[in-house]
Amino acid sequence: MDKPPINIVWLKRDLRTQDHAPLQQAEQDGLPYLVIYLYEPTLIQYPDTSDRHLQFVYHSTQVMNTVWKSVQREVHLFYGDAIDVFGFFIEKYDLKKVFSHQETGTQITYDRDKAVAQLFKKYKIDWLESPTNGVVRGITNRDGWDKQWYATMYSKPIQNTYNLPEPELLGHDFLLPFSFLKRIKDYSDLYQPAGEVNGWKYLRSFTQRRGFNYHRFISKPTQSRSSCGRVSPFLTWGNLSIRQVYQYVKDHPNFRSNKRAFMGFLDRLKWHCHFIQKFEVECAYETHCINRGYELLERTLNEDFITAWKTGTTGFPLIDACMRCVIATGWINFRMRAMLVSFLCHHLFQDWRSGVYHLAQQFLDYEPGIHYPQFQMQAGTTGVNTIRMYNPTKQAQDHDPEGVYIRKWIPELRNIPQQYIHEPWKMTLLEQGFAGIEIGKDYPKPIIDLKKSGRIAREAIWGHRKNKVVQQEKQRILDTHTRRGQFS
């Protein structure tokens, strides 16, 4: 019996129905096609992945199905590694072409894609991959990249239409297990709602009102939760394309009267892609100090420090509030993210790899190309960027002066007098009694002496910049990642 001919659109981090090149190409090809998303056990078990990521993906696909209801199309979910799932399609169908976006991810996803490419080559299946958000896979430097990126951002977004019939999906062994389906259907009310419809709601509210104070409150842990764009999860999982967001903000009627705020937002869209492109050039950012000279800087592993950091029990209120907040909601602003990494790697003097996957799992907007380069920048392991050592008490005094954020996320400290909210360990026993708290029991004492640990870290990290290997690696990094004499 002849096998039915089909094409496939393989969704990855592009869970939307518009401005979608693979979906357009499938429609233009003319052959009936299926749209699939793979929950791959090998990737699910990787330490950067958490249930909140899987849940956001699931709910994003359900939004797509709702949008597509009128055209009788849907995203078909499979539970299986790519080689096995495509093996099924090759066995049961005459698979002609596969359309997808290029994945800009970790080495494990790149290795997966190389294995799939070999499978397709063996069976003479065409795999057409489209660039993602102006990022170019496989380049060895970024000369001319800026110009190309802007050309992409100013080009017309794709207006996808759907006319082709959907072929019958034959029975298979890759259904989502019941227990797994239950896991990914669950979704905390504290997370941002998934899907392109919700992404547009956030973007519209940003341009209509929320974003007017973007530049004023970007560093504030409380105010930034409403004044920032808050579209990062929708960009991470492709509910919105960078081009859609860039043009919507740039062309909005409120742009002229809020140019400083909106331009700050647009600049960060550029940085978003800039860091992903940097990661594409050198994906070792995930696993090794990008400046190999910093592999020679010895740090003593302290599991108690790491556990306190991960659980928000360090005794430093803003550190603990930020960690508890991101665990609960999946989001904190950039400065607070940088502060958490700085505290781990500088004041606690722990290797950045001891915390990099923990935060990857917490961030609902975890984007590998941003996460690992930024983590290393804040950890001070590039040998190129300025080492930023955030004092968490000063950060709290500057950005949460009344302790609103601290009291929200650390209920133990809600009754602390204002003068002690940033340094509760300074209260006398009598004052603790009046506040109904015992420091060291109800809330931990600081696990380090901030001044002493800061001095030790500065001497070690700054001193190591003179290391011969660090200097050699610095030049290599500049040669690889520099654009006309500037590294960023």
User: What is the pLDDT, as a whole number, of residue 465?
Assistant: 84
> How far, in Å, CA of 402 to CA of 248, rounded?
36
Tell me whether strands 75-79 and 126-130 are parallel, antiparallel or unpaired.
unpaired
pLDDT above 90: residue 412: yes
pLDDT tens for 56-101 read: 999 999 999 999 999 999 999 999 999 999 999 999 999 999 999 9
User: What is the pLDDT, as a whole number, of residue 488?
Assistant: 42
The predicted model gives 333-344 an average pLDDT of 98
> How far, in Å, CA of 154 to CA of 268, rounded?
16
User: What is the pLDDT, as a whole number, of residue 479?
Assistant: 78
More confident residue, 20 or 283: 20
**CA distances to 64, 96, 243 from 10, in Å:** 14, 13, 21
Helix (H) or strand (E) holding 278, with range, is helix 259-281
Residue 130: DSSP 8-state: E
User: What is the pLDDT, as a whole number, of residue 281?
Assistant: 84
> How far, in Å, CA of 237 to CA of 139, rounded?
23
pLDDT above 50: residue 487: no
Topology annotation, domain 133-157+193-279: 1.25.40
User: What is the pLDDT, as a whole number, of residue 480?
Assistant: 76
Q: What's the farthest any 2 CA atoms get from each other in the chain?
A: 86
Just give the CATH number of 285-481.
Answer: 1.10.579.10
User: What is the pLDDT, as a whole number, of residue 463?
Assistant: 86
User: What is the pLDDT, as a whole number, of residue 51?
Assistant: 98
Structural domain boundaries of the chain?
Answer: 5-130, 133-157+193-279, 285-481
The predicted model gives 436-452 an average pLDDT of 97
Q: Is it true that 133-157+193-279 and 285-481 share their CATH fold?
A: no
Confidence band for 485, pLDDT divided at 50, 70 and 90: very low
> How far, in Å, CA of 102 to CA of 11, rounded?
10
**Contact call for residues 426 and 420 (beta carbons, < 8 A):** yes
Topology annotation, domain 5-130: Rossmann fold (3.40.50)
Closest Cα to residue 74, out of 85, 86, 65?
A: 65
Confidence band for 483, pLDDT divided at 50, 70 and 90: low
pLDDT tens for 172-192 read: 999 999 999 999 999 999 999
Helix (H) or strand (E) holding 371, with range, is helix 368-379
User: What is the pLDDT, as a whole number, of residue 38?
Assistant: 98
